[in-house]
Structure 1
Amino acid sequence: MSRPDAHECVSRSGADARAAGPGRPRRILFLVSSMHGGGAERVAATLANAWARRGDEVTLVCCYSGRGRCDQVLDPAVRLLWLADRVRGPAWLRPVAKLAALRRLARECRPDRVLSFLTNVNVTALLALRGLGLPIVVGERTDPAHSVNLEPVLRRLRRWTYPWARRVAVQTRRGAVHLLRVAPGVRRLAVIPNPLPDGLPACRVREPAGPRYTLAALGRFNPVKQFDRLIECFAALAPQCPDWDLCIWGDGAQRDACLRRVRELGLESRIRLPGFSRTPWEDLAAAHAFVLNSRVEGFPNALLEAMALGLPCVATDCPSGPSELTLGGRLAELVPLDDEAALGAALLRVMRAAPAEREARGRAAAGSVRSRYGLDAVLRAWDDAWTEADGTIGAADGDDAPRPAP
């Protein structure tokens, strides 16, 4: 059978759309904002690729009005579409035209399942597909109580539309509590953490040899990541650890300002900001420790992957994710939010530790997260999210790992 064109979906009968049962290929319509270099996009690529490899028909739709580009590696079987290619009309009519275009696309694809990521895309999907009888699961990708840059109208629309979803998925138990505060009408929740990506290298046996050592960070340069504060913290510690350097991979609006600050500090040889990494696992594996200094996270992929690769880690106890990932600080240095002294002290402990001690910490953390966040377990949790069972499914009260629906 010939493969459908990469820019079109195959129209099927309603009876065929309902035919997919357990163990049979499913048609999945996966809606995202973009496929740029962020954490949500990496998770979307991981899930889409895994479903395509098991035989499901996956259509991945970028809903960003400006179209954009794809920075993620996708399986050839994943069909990638840009909704902007289907939206016509004057700019003032684009919001309505986008809803109509998405509704037409869903009717063409006749998916068995619809998954949407990010609040603005979730609301768009629930409005556009209302009344089509499609099972829609929407995923919040940050802590709902600490959503940044969320306009009041979008907050109200989230509260109004989320109860229409088959299920609302959050990434942590804390996030589930917060979701019910902002959308109290939701009756079906799933707690599904991010999976370790397929193809992640094995935990390293030993850290790279000196004589210089690298403290790594990775993410978008935006206020939430607080890379500017991390630079100031490291600058204060640099004289005490002359053989350590800081390297922050990523791009974003604040990167230029951070580069200027590094130059002002005269630390160009000690603090590197090389930009977006297309080989993040290799870059992390070449480092000696990892730090996450975020103010808010949904579920920090960079921390998860650094731990899985065997790096000793330092993280702020921000909402949400670091506490659950590190088992309350047993697997990494977990410091209070906005406590610069505690962050500096934790970084000093890691940088001054013997290599063997750092390696032992890294191996313990890697063993834990690899057992709790494996891709197969997370895929089963997503499959369970489309069940009609009421209540919350996913992580149990004392366990972050996914479990089957009741």
Structure 2
Amino acid sequence: MKILFFVSSMNAGGAERVAASLANAWVQQGDEVCLVPTHLGTESSFYHLDERVQFQPLKDSLSWFPPFLTPVRKLRSIRQLHDRFEPDVVVSFLTNVNVNVLMALRGVSTPVIVCERTNPVVSRSADKRLQSLRTKLYPKATRVVVQTQDAAHAFAAAEPNLGDLAVIPNPIPPVLASLPLAAEVEKKTNCKLVAMGRLVPAKQFDQLIQVFGLLAEEFPEWTLHIHGEGPERENLQRRAELVGCKDKVFFPGRTEEPWRVLAEAQLFVLTSAYEGFPNVLLEAMTLGLPCVTVDCPSGPKEISNNGRDASLVLPDNEQALRRALSELMIDPRLRGVLGQRAAASVRERYGMAAILDHWDLVFRQAGLVNIKQEKT
């Protein structure tokens, strides 16, 4: 099968990593994939691509045009790439790319599958103009894909003309699935509680610091490490001082080795007000790290298996968060049991083979051949 795959860029982002993982998996199972980043500043991929993936930055198809004509030229180039590649199916990631692809490919018979990479109802990534275009154009897609059931229910209620939404979660990166589980060691000193994300209000790290401040005296061997960068750094550092934890709360910045950081921790926590699909939670659980997560929209409830594979707490409830952290900080055996259960569960549910099965079903529902029968 020939898959024409549009993404925004191929920089170091979550959607880009998923795009690379899927493109690699599809060519490895015998499909032909042309991966097209539409961002005009993209020349290469941050993530490794199989040599069989045809990498075609959209900028390479654009001749020089006055800046005010660039959007029109981009649409023409998307259509020209489609006509030249003659795909069986078009897959598109991210709202702005989806809108452009649907405009460019009006009238073609090729199935077009557009994928939201956030929860569209709670995300702030699309402005009013883009939201309006999404409302008009998404019903023209063959299928709309979101990452979680929470997002599907909310989006369907907000946009009733979309038809049946498909839910396909992110896969575990294959390289991560091949790593050994983090070994739980009963430590009396230097126990690390780790959080990761942009230092922005939506991650609610201020609440995390407040709760950790209440636990610090009871658990003097524990430190909190918040990895990431963003505009809230100074405010968060001041908050750590105010709760008396200046020497126990650390801000190491953005890490290029998140899996190593997670593997060296004893406990992971996610406190976001909302998520699209929290990859870092999935990755921590994959490594066998016990996790505490707020039940925010959307993703934690599903990834944690309704709280069976990670400790799931109510949003905006500092007492519940404190209690959940305390139960795991005090008990290394409980951490080990929860981490092992988490790893077994997510590796089965979110492994690449399981995610490709989801995609095969969507392709069949889009009117394509029965892929599994064709391969056998």
* Global fold match (TM > 0.5): yes
Query: Separation in 2 of the partners of 1:68 and 1:262?
Result: 41
CA deviation string 1:314-358 (max 9, x = no partner): 1111111111121222222211112223222222222122x1221
CA distance in 2, matches of 1:254, 1:28: 41
For 2:124, what is the secondary structure of its paired residue?
Answer: coil
1:256 Cα deviation after fit: 5.8
Which deviates more, 37-46 or 117-126?
37-46
Could you report, residue by residue, the CA deviation over 1:94-127 in whole angstroms, capped at 9, with x for unpaired residues? 3222222222222222222211111111111111
The 1:164/1:286 distance shift into structure 2, 3 A limit, reads same
Q: How far off is 1:210 after superposition? A: 5.0
Residues 111, 366 of structure 2: 8 Å contact kept: no
For residue 251 of structure 1, the aligned residue among 220, 229, 232 is 229
Greater helix fraction, Structure 1 or Structure 2? 2
Partner of 1:396: none
User: Please, what TM-score do these two structures have when normalized by structure 2?
Assistant: 0.88
Q: Which residue of 2 aligns with 1:280?
A: 258
Q: Is 1:140 matched up with 2:116?
A: yes
Give the CA deviation at 1:262: 5.0
Report how far residue 287 of structure 1 moved.
0.6
- Equivalent position to 1:369, from 318, 321, 346: 346
Matches within 5 A, 1:196-211: 196-200=172-176, 201-207=179-185, 209=187, 211=189
Cα shift at 1:269: 4.0
> In structure 2, what is the Cα distance between the partners aligned to 1:256 and 1:82?
38
CA shift, 1:239, in A, is: 2.8
1:339 to 2:317 alignment = yes
Contact 1:163 1:187 in 2 (8 A): yes
1:130 to 95, 100, 106: 106
Deviation of 1:363 after TM superposition, in Å, equals: 0.9
Match in the other structure for 2:167: 191
Query: Aligned to 1:142, what secondary structure does the other structure show?
Result: coil
- The answer to whether the 8 A contact 1:166-1:388 is kept is no
Q: Which runs of 5+ in 2 are unaligned?
A: 368-376
CA distance in 2, matches of 1:69, 1:228: 37
1:234-313 matched pairs, under 5 angstroms: 234-255=212-233, 258=236, 262=240, 267=245, 269-313=247-291
Give the corresponding residue for 1:155. Answer: 131
The one-letter code sitting in structure 2 at the alignment partner of 1:370 is: R
Once the two structures are TM-superposed, the CA of residue 50 in structure 1 deviates from its matched residue by 1.1
Does 2:308 correspond to 1:330?
Answer: yes
- SS of the residue aligned with 1:145? coil
- SS at 1:240's partner residue? coil
Partner in structure 1 of residue 156 of structure 2: 180
Range moving further from structure 2, 326-335 or 280-289: 326-335
Corresponding position: 1:34 with 2:9: yes
Aligned 8 A contact 2:10 2:42 in 1: no
Name the CA distance, whole Å, in 2 between partners of 1:58 and 1:208: 47
Partner amino acid, structure 1, of 2:252: P
Stretch moving more, 280-289 or 234-243: 234-243
Structure 1 residue aligned with 2:370: none
When the two chains are superposed, the root-mean-square deviation of aligned CA atoms in Å is 2.4
Rounded to whole Å, the distance in 1 between the matches of 2:233 and 2:122 is 23
Question: AA paired with 2:14?
Answer: G
Q: How many equivalent pairs are there?
A: 364
TM-score (norm 1): 0.82
Aligned to 2:335: 358
Q: Which residue identity lines up with residue 97 of structure 2 in the other structure?
A: V
Whole-angstrom CA distance in 2 between matches of 1:116 and 1:268: 45
Q: Is the 8 A contact 1:222 1:254 kept in 2?
A: yes
Partner of residue 171, structure 1: 147
Contact 1:33-1:121 within 8 A present in 2 as well = yes
